[in-house]
Structure 1
Amino acid sequence: MKRLVSLILCLSLALSVTIAYADLSTNEQSIGEVTAESKKLSDQKIAEMAKRLEVLNKKVSNGQVNPMSDPQIPPSKILSTSGYIAQPDNSTCGPTSAHNLLLSWGKNISIDTLKKDLGYNGQTPFGDAWKTTLNNYTNSTYYVVTWSPSQTTIWNAFVGDTIDGHPFILDTHMSSENGYLEGYSGSTWWHYVTGIGYSGYNLNSDNSKYGVYFDPYDGRVGTFGQHSLELPKWVKLVSERGIVW
């Protein structure tokens, strides 16, 4: 009898683990509202950040640092993730990533509050609610929503937002076609993570440039915490949605 109870318990635990992993593999993520004004703001930030990083990285002819190059862009930089937490369940990667991001701004906003603000309905849609929510809590106009960003824009987000001291959001669709973040394989996931840094700015090869991110999911071995991924691999991962930067 004891052996039967033990066997049933083991099977129940195994089933619960299977379900927990399966829940992260979802149907296609819904899309939130997207306005023409949001697209305009995105285009403006893309252009302004590209120009700004060009100026920051430029030196005058006598070899002295351009006075506008302050701060100079270091080869690598990673923001602090002190206080960052794991998502409380399998479907709240969006609100949790937003919570972690806002901690870096000195704002401790509950996940339940962020679920309401971001329009969470079992999943978190990608759309203008992200821009509105992050800018409201940071009392800024810093964040914009960029759909299907180019490789250059993704890199400028990792570098530019990091030297500004501000994390940003990446909405990934992992699959055998798009590739995987650290710890994932063999299935399909729609998953939010927080961009927190970069490395390889001084290197010419794109494969030697890395975007550093924080993953809030701790339901699989090796997923939770800080990781880095080669720049070209980010393009497919965020191509179907995008970034909030």
Structure 2
Amino acid sequence: MATIKDFSALKGLRKDLQAQEKARAEAEALRLRNEARAREEADIFRNSIGQVAPLRARAIDKAHHLPEPPLPIPRQHLADEQAALLESLSDEFTVDTLMDSDENLSFARPGVGQDVLSKLRRGHWVIQAQLDLHGYRRDQAREALGEFLRESRKRGIRCVRVIHGKGLGSVNKEPVLKHKVRSWLAQKDEVMAFCQARAADGGAGALVVLLRSSERASG
């Protein structure tokens, strides 16, 4: 037969169960309120920014880490060096073996008419480029002259001036470089003719050189 003590224990247990049930109900109500608030905030954010669409992935947006390509072979540079070797100028060459000269140091290759040389003396062609060899040693001057003629030829230039100086600062006042330049020019196939420059263009210290027309020249 149940005692008063047993009834008291049951009553206490019932109170505990009711308290737990109340706590669960309050927790559930709080969770529902939080979810509702979150939905409201999300709706406010979506309404403020409007409709959005995901960005399409494009190939251009992707970073491709490719290995570095090998350095290009300097084919043109090698070709120029080869041409320079083939066109090297000799100091043993004497201009007198190729052509005659006059007292004005004028020269023309065989087949070049005297009218061409006369026009060159009179300044018929405009001087388009010049090379000043003042202060150059002989080897430096030879290399500089060869490079200058090659570049002038590439650019389609017809008439150039080469300033070699009068040799007044040379040993024994002899114009060594002046004679060397004449010899070097005579060895270049692209040189049609050259003559001593007019007084206004350098006189005895320079030569005016006429080059053959190249494919890039207009005529």
Query: TM-score scaled to structure 2, two decimals?
Result: 0.31
Of the two structures, which has the highest relative contact order with CA contacts closer than 8 Å and spacing of 6 or more? 1
Q: Structure 1 or 2: larger helix share?
A: 2
Structure showing greater Rg: 2
TM-score (norm 1): 0.29
Q: Which has the larger share of strand?
A: 1
